[in-house]
Structure 1
Amino acid sequence: MNIKGTKISIIGAGFVGSTTAYALMLGGLASEIVIVDINKDKAIAEAMDLSHGASFVKPVDIKAGDYEDTRDSDIVIITAGVGPKPGETRLDLINKNLRVFKSIIPEVVKYSPNSILLVVSNPVDVLTYITYKLSGFPKERVIGSGTVLDTSRFRYMLSEHFKVDARNIHTYIIGEHGDSEIAAWSLTSIAGMNADEYCDDLIEGCNTNFKNKISEDVKNAAYEILNRKGYTNYGVAVAIRRIVEAIVRDERAILTVSSLFTGEYGIEDLYLGIPTVIGKGGTEKILQVPLSEEELKSLKESSNILKGHILKSDI
């Protein structure tokens, strides 16, 4: 996929959709960006505002439009839907956003049958599965933002704890983008050392509870932001930009996007965040990383929680 000529459409001009358009514009990752929203004036205003920065970025045509204007998109990013209110979990939104997606997905597929669909709306794992079912697309071309942002939050919090650059910490959050997500401590590495080794050798030990605290802080990070400002937008927009970059540049990058499990880790017919190779065709391969017994057990428990919610929903 060549950036020149790449068309990306964003469905939803709310906090996440508009900030995503901004991040993509700054990243120079598309030559055309189309913003679609039920509130047409909002979409038009966002496109105008972004376009006024045209002289400071690489050439890109940004416009608001209807679904017909998304025709022949290479990537369609779906951020539309109802966001969680304080006190709600992401899973509380399933049936509200299912109705929204039943109106969106057929229109997207109609005009861009060869696109890659990137789902961001919450609960992202369930809605990505719904998108896969509604679209009829191959699993490789239906991707959820998964735990890419959670993984970055994890790396940031570890960098603060260990006082090193977040880019030099390698680790993952896996499973649901939500309350059952799992911090993969067995895969955490700082300069080839695991977290305990780094604590013992370089910072003279850590509080015995530090792993639980950091894991909980990562899981609750979005709720903390929601309680303070009512929404999240910057971190997720940068995470989306990173996924798009991996696709557009055919990087074969490893990111914890939400991918369809087809027997990996003993899990079938479900989308979850897991280290996955991403390239120009979408997802290329789920990696079966060596999890600890406890982590594998938690991953299967996370999958059972999501399957239970899918069975109880109006799909």
Structure 2
Amino acid sequence: MTISIIGSGKVGASIALNCGLRELDSKINLVDIIEGLPQGEAMDINHQLSVQGLDSDLIGTNDFSVVRDSKIVILVAGVGRKPGMTRMDLLKTNASIVKDVATKISQHNKNAILIVVTNPLDPMTYLALKTTKYPKNKVMGMGGMLDLSRFASFIHEYTKLSRESISAMVISEHGEKMLPLIRFSSISGIPLNNFINENQSNEIYEKTKQVAAEVIKLKGATVYAPGNAVATMTEAIIKDKKSVIPLSAYLEGEFGVNDVCIGVPAVVGKDGIEKIVELPLNDFERQEFEKGIQNVREAISSLPL
């Protein structure tokens, strides 16, 4: 069984490289409709892996049918954000792409675990779930793991403490309504609020929500952190790690929410989403979480389901 990545632009290639560096499978497919692009990216990545003694082989192809043997399919196809755009600005364009790609995935493979990366992440995860008709545990969106990496980076910046000691959590929408959870974050098990004051807490909270737009403004796209985030999720599945990862999942009563995909903590293993971890949110956290749900519901209402 292999890993297939659909979409070989900057993020797709970064995912492929990160999966290769971790040797998550002996063969990793990089698929795209653009002639030559996945083949060229695969060659370039293979050249790096070869001198590092790593034995994952990247296969670049325009043949979509290669997904038939894949345990994990990663859907990255779509248009990326431009400076000044929100993730929701991509809704109409990317919905048609995701629906088409998800249909093809389900035609070739009925048993894969699907990781969605295309923005706006939560509505696209919902669309992919409904289009493929896969079990809800086998469809997940990447957002929370990426948001967590940014949150943890700011915690490190403010505390000057080792990144290795930092444990962070972000839930809700992968977008402007994301919810960095200061109260559920810690340094070596010690609550984060023991290391920062209220003003610093507020600054970290706001910066985490805004930093993706800043990166896009400065360099045009976010590439490396998304690639690592998806590889982390993929590794949890391949190695059955039972990792607790924030991701976009379909809720049926968890957190008091139904029929929406939204960022929540989940146990990830060989069967995909094995359990959703419900958190006792306080009034402020619940209010912010609900804002994210409302945003995603509005987007879902316009999807071509």
Superposition TM-score, scaled by structure 1 size: 0.93
Taking the aligned partners of 1:311 and 1:40, their CA distance within structure 2 comes to: 35
> In the alignment, what sits opposite 1:97?
94
> In the alignment, what sits opposite 1:62?
58
Question: Is residue 83 of structure 1 aligned with residue 117 of structure 2?
Answer: no
Checking the alignment, whether the CA contact within 8 Å between 1:126 and 1:271 is kept in structure 2 is yes
Amino acid at match of 1:216: E
If each structure's strand is expressed as a fraction of its own residues, which one has the higher value? 2
Residues 123-149 of structure 1, C-alpha deviation per residue, up to 9 Å, x if partnerless?
A: 111100000000010001001102111
Alignment of 1:143-292 (within 5 A): 143-199=140-196, 206=197, 208-292=198-282
Higher alpha-carbon deviation: 44-53 or 20-29 = 44-53
Taking the aligned partners of 2:228 and 2:213, their CA distance within structure 1 comes to: 18
Question: Is residue 305 of structure 1 aligned with residue 295 of structure 2?
Answer: yes
Higher alpha-carbon deviation: 224-233 or 180-189 = 180-189
Taking only the aligned residue pairs, the percentage that are identical comes to: 36
Taking the aligned partners of 2:269 and 2:25, their CA distance within structure 1 comes to: 16
Checking the alignment, whether the CA contact within 8 Å between 2:182 and 2:193 is kept in structure 1 is no
Higher alpha-carbon deviation: 269-278 or 50-59 = 50-59
Unaligned stretches of 5+ residues in structure 2: none
Amino acid at match of 1:9: S
What secondary structure does 1:291 align onto?
A: coil
Residues 67-110 of structure 1, C-alpha deviation per residue, up to 9 Å, x if partnerless?
A: 11222101000111011111110011111001111221121112
Higher alpha-carbon deviation: 289-298 or 89-98 = 289-298
Taking the aligned partners of 2:204 and 2:218, their CA distance within structure 1 comes to: 20
Alignment of 1:110-129 (within 5 A): 110-129=107-126
What secondary structure does 2:74 align onto?
A: strand
What secondary structure does 2:92 align onto?
A: helix
Of residues 30, 33, 39, the one that matches 1:38 is 33
Checking the alignment, whether the CA contact within 8 Å between 1:257 and 1:276 is kept in structure 2 is yes
Taking the aligned partners of 1:104 and 1:314, their CA distance within structure 2 comes to: 13
Instruction: Give the C-alpha shift of residue 290 in structure 1.
Output: 2.1
Q: Kindly tell me: are residues 196 and 61 of structure 1, through their superposed partners in 2, closer, same or farther at Cα, counting changes over 3 Å?
A: closer
- How large is the RMSD of aligned CA atoms in angstroms? 1.3
Taking the aligned partners of 2:284 and 2:214, their CA distance within structure 1 comes to: 27
Taking the aligned partners of 1:42 and 1:264, their CA distance within structure 2 comes to: 41
Amino acid at match of 1:44: Q
